[in-house]
Amino acid sequence: MAATLLLLSVPFFSLSAIAVALAFLVRPRPVRIPVKGRHVFITGGSSGIGLALARRAAAEGARVSILARSATRLNEAREAIRLATGVDVAVFSADVRDAEAVARAVEAAGPIDLLVCNQGVFTPQELEHQDLQEVRFMVDVNLMGTFHLIKAALPAMKQRARATKLPASISIMSSQAGQGDYVFDK
């Protein structure tokens, strides 16, 4: 009862200030994962966010592997990272829709400490205008590709984490505002 009376006596603007302060205090904060000396495997690593992540990880001392479909774009990305950081990265050309190709790339890359599932495709148009084949392609790349990657990498990552006492990490990057079909498959 006393708490209720106290709460009622607090002016509205004070409640607003408290709400803002609480929102600030409990909001998610970015987690910094140390990468120096660890193997970071990034899909979609030949352009955009994946390339930026690969460049940053290389600059911070990680051993970096990138996977994408285009061997030409992968080699261009490798050269860009080398010029920016002085570090050579491993490149693997594979389509994430192909579970066997993904498994071969993961095996060839060697022990992975951090797996970043960054591959992604989408077609920016209204859902009612989406072609079923386009949606299937997005689901195969975005959802099934992530499944293939995690399935291929996770057993060795878990074993390595137990052996080294270092945590393994799998990150799934997604940008979703207003992307209809892309949202539900991510």
Q: For each of the domains in the chain, give its residue range(s) and CATH number, in order of start.
A: 39-185 (3.40.50.720)
Q: Show the tokens assigned to 23.
A: 């929102």
| Distance between CA atoms of residues 38 and 99, nearest Å | 25
Answer yes or no: is pLDDT of 25 > 60: yes
Q: Does 174 score more than 50 pLDDT? A: no
| CB contact at 8 A, 59 and 85 | yes
Looking at residue 184, its pLDDT comes to: 41
Enumerate the β-bridge partners of residue 68: 93
Out of 25-39, 59-73, 85-99, which region has the weakest mean confidence (pLDDT)? 25-39
Lowest mean pLDDT among 5-19, 77-91, 101-115, 147-161: 5-19
Give the mean model confidence (pLDDT) for residues 12-18: 54
E strand or H helix that includes residue 133: helix 132-138
Residue scoring higher pLDDT (76 or 17):
76
Q: In the beta sheet, which residues pair with residue 169?
A: 114
Global pTM reads 0.75
What is the overall mean pLDDT for the chain?
82
